[in-house]
Amino acid sequence: MKAAVIDEPGSGTQVSIREIPLPLPGAGEVLLKCEFAAVNHVDTFIRAGAYRTALPRPFVIGRDVVGTVEALGPQVRGVVPGQRMWTNSMGYDGRQGVISEFACIPVNRLLPVPEQLDEPQVLAATAHSFTTTWLALSALLNTDSPRKVFIGGAAGNVGSVAVQFAHATGAYIVASASAADRNWVQSLGADLILDYKDPMLAAKAVHNPQQGIDIWWDTSGHQDLTQVIPALSIGGTVLLSAGISSSSDLPVGAVYTRNISVKGFAVSNATAQQLHAAALRLNDFLGRHPLKYHSAGIFPLDQAARAHQLVESGQAHGKVLVRLSD
């Protein structure tokens, strides 16, 4: 079968398309005929070695995929050949990736595609963003009183889903985006949209000085904590999940005197149980809400390296998918 592989972590130019043996499903595994896979920034970090994790050699790149069950390994129950399923937790921690014509996936990491979903690629396109959003925000938004949330980079892949998720919970949403993306972000449910380049962004996000921001999450990675902390309510939280090479001074006094929490979050640290819970919530969410996303293109398997380079360069305005079968 064809697969996009690397022999060692490195640049996107090291991704090659080659024939590798068709894997055989072991106990508790399913052989999936892959249809669509996503390319996320975390995929480029793993491929480049910036995110260190155990990788088989050669390594098939990719984490999120939707496909059709081709065959079952021993001890697999509740799954039938021909069933459409998806996963978002392959391609790291010793597991092979999924940008290939077929992939063996543990059955406990697979979920069925909801029957009412006409375009299964929506799952590949939104699985990573929704998982990140749900794991980051669900506990913080689980409150009886409405929350005021700031979402930076609201037109991006994670930011777009975060706005929709927070809107569904009844939160008041302040978002930052470019002028060109204003209408898109407004359509997602943002209440107040600010220019991400505004040097007074944090101050304007407060809007009402008596009601600071409860949750500040800049998914674009711009973290100026000296500006952000004063904009938070007492007991507010800053989520840090992007900006792997950025640095920011922490105003210690303002943090502890106002009970502020600064929380780092990386979806790759999630356990299998947490990922499964997030996947269940995504299936449930899609059953009740249409989930919007921008498409930056669908590439054939032979152009997987180009897809990685596009995401890594920051030029992909939306979700990049790889089509793995016709």
- pLDDT of 180: 92
pLDDT at residue 318 in the model: 87
Per-residue pLDDT at 56? 94
- How high is the pLDDT of residue 147? 86
Q: Does domain 127-267 have CATH number 3.40.50.720?
A: yes
**Amino acid identity for residue 125 in this structure:** A
The domain 2-113+294-323 is placed in CATH, from the list 3.40.50.2300, 3.90.180.10, 3.40.50.300, 3.40.50.720, at 3.90.180.10
Please report, to the nearest 10 degrees, the dihedral formed by the alpha carbons of residues 85, 88, 92, 93 taken in order: -90
What does residue 304 show for φ and ψ, rounded to 5 degrees? Answer: -60, -35
C-alpha–C-alpha distance, residues 284 and 312, integer Å: 31
Name the pTM for this structure: 0.84
What are the domain boundaries of the chain?
2-113+294-323, 127-267
What's the Cα-to-Cα distance from 116 to each of 37, 53, 106, 112, 122, rounded to whole Å?
Answer: 20, 36, 25, 11, 12
- Give yes or no on whether 2-113+294-323 and 127-267 have one common fold: no
> Quick check: helix, strand or coil at residue 322?
strand
Q: Could you give the CA distance from residue 114 to residue 111 in angstroms, rounded to a whole number? A: 9
Q: What is the number of residues in the chain?
A: 326
**Per-residue model confidence (pLDDT) at position 247:** 61
Burial of 209 (0-12, 13-18, 19+ CB in 10 A): exposed
Q: Distance (Å, rounded) from C-alpha 194 to C-alpha 185? A: 10
What per-residue confidence (pLDDT) applies to 42?
A: 87
- Two structure tokens written together for 199: 């040097």
Cα(323)–Cα(326) distance, rounded to whole angstroms?
8
Backbone angles phi, psi at 22, to 5 degrees: -65, 125
DSSP class per residue in 214-244: EEEEETT----HHHHGGGEEEEEEEEE-S-T
Backbone angles phi, psi at 72, to 5 degrees: -115, 140
Walk along the chain (326 residues) and give the pLDDT tens digit of each residue. 999 999 999 998 899 999 999 999 999 999 999 999 999 888 999 999 988 889 999 999 999 999 999 999 999 999 999 999 999 889 989 999 999 999 999 998 999 998 878 788 888 999 889 999 999 998 888 766 778 999 999 999 899 999 999 999 999 999 999 999 999 999 999 999 999 888 888 888 886 656 799 999 999 877 788 888 888 999 999 998 876 556 667 778 778 878 888 888 887 788 878 888 888 898 888 888 888 998 989 999 999 999 999 999 888 888 999 999 87
